Copies of this chain bind each other. A is one copy, B any other.
């Protein structure tokens, strides 16, 4: 018999927050305020497109540990150059990079997390750094019990160390943790390490043209439409 689930560990980007719409919406506001004419749908997709390759430099050992804020910033500077945005002030670069600290939750996230928090420890298991996730939690009222994942383990998912350190810091065996994610690959790695798994479908994370992660591709413990449905299935 499997042990009782004590903690839910959450992927954040795409699973808890709608990064793409958040970036596009804030970007369009900045276009108005700053007199820019950036296509923020393209910009958001290309910025996010640099996410995995930038982490891979660290995962592969090519470069030493850096936090996601640093990688986001490097990608941002590259993109601003490609979009021929010249002479952007340091203050504006920092403001743009902090968009990732101001992402908005999906409409069901806050209510669902609030219900789940009564029964479980809620921890992030995200590639975001602590400050990014803490600021996002303050901004979007995400009630985490612990902000764990990449920075405290000094490794990026899907390295096993990221998952195992998070469980270990909670004083739990992987089997006592349920990984919650909208991405099959994340859950498959977690499952291989002993975590329980819950797939939460987010078919619009990548906008109307999304082609991946439209459904659960494995035999997870739970499959939910959203966090309220997840709370219901977990009797919260």
Contacts and interface: CB of A to CB of B under 8 A. Distances in A.
Interface of A: 69, 121, 123, 129-132, 134-135, 137-138, 144-148, 151-152, 169-172
Contact of A135 (B130, B131, B171): B171
Copies of this protein, total: 2
Contact of A146 (B121, B134, B170, B171): B134
Given A147-B146, A147-B147, A170 B134 contact: yes
A130 B148 contact: yes
A131 B69 contact: no
A178 to B, nearest CB: 16
Contacts of A151: 169
Contacts of A131: 169-172
Given A137-B145, A147-B147, A152-B152, A130 B170 contact: yes
B69 A129 contact: no
A135 B171 CA distance: 10
Nearest to A7: B134
Given A147-B146, A152-B152, A169 B130 contact: yes
